[in-house]
Amino acid sequence: MLELAVLGLLAEQPRHGYDLKKRLSETLGPLWGISFGSLYPALRRLERSGAIEEVDESATAPAPTGSFVPTGSLKGDLAAARMRLRARPSRRTRRAYAITAHGRALFAELLTDESDDDERAFAVKLLFCGHLEPVARVAFLERRRAQLTQRLVAERKPATRTIDRYTRSLLEHRARSTQHDLDWIVELIAQERAEQPDDRTEGATA
């Protein structure tokens, strides 16, 4: 799923490794534990497969203005000289990555893959759900609704053994959380369908 998330961000614009890590941490959350140790191997895999490519970007600091005026103080002159050295135009090449045509095809394939719809996969796919066609978005959300419905039925089954109140409380909490997620998905589906044109209406008025 890390590769899918990287491709999704690069589909928006080229990014540096640091920016990718920052955006991934912001969007996926701290529980994913995104680190450079996991990010850069993923970038190398994607690059070897031809899904992404390196692009160079140079950053130039602004040139200093004014001339050096001695202050008469050795300490002051040394400090001013150090400041000027730090302010001199510097040029450094940073490594950035851009998605390729093959990468866009791979991104679309991963985004529509129905074989991997666990919790993490769903979260990543939902982040980039806007790249899907409206019908595909509804199908994706409906699969999630079916999964949550099945889970809720299982969580609401009576316990087959005697449990204490703490275990019972935990099971009830899980069921409420699943119900909350299910209500959320149902609402998203309703919003998607409301935004899609009615083919029958369009055909009747054509």
The pLDDT, as a whole number, for residue 57 is 63
Q: Does some domain include residue 178?
A: yes
Name the nearest CA neighbour of 39 among 4, 72, 3: 3
The CATH number for 109's domain is 1.10.10.10
Q: Tell me, yes or no, whether 12 and 108 share the same domain.
A: yes
What pLDDT shows up at residue 190?
Answer: 96
Q: Does a structural domain hold residue 94? A: yes
Give all strands of the β-sheet with 52-60 in edge-to-edge order: 15-16, 91-99, 52-60
For residue 177, what are the domain limits?
A: 133-198
In the chain, the N- to C-terminal Cα span, in Å, equals 44
pLDDT digit string, tens, across residues 104-121: 999 999 999 888 768 888
Q: Which residues of the chain have pLDDT under 50?
A: 58-70, 85, 87-91, 200-206
According to DSSP H, which parts of the chain are helical?
A: 2-12, 17-28, 36-48, 74-87, 101-111, 119-127, 134-155, 165-195, 199-205
The answer on 107 and 43 residing in a single domain is yes
Residue 124 lies in a domain: no
Q: What is the pLDDT of residue 199?
A: 53
Computed over every residue of the chain, the mean pLDDT equals: 81
Model pLDDT, residue 36: 83
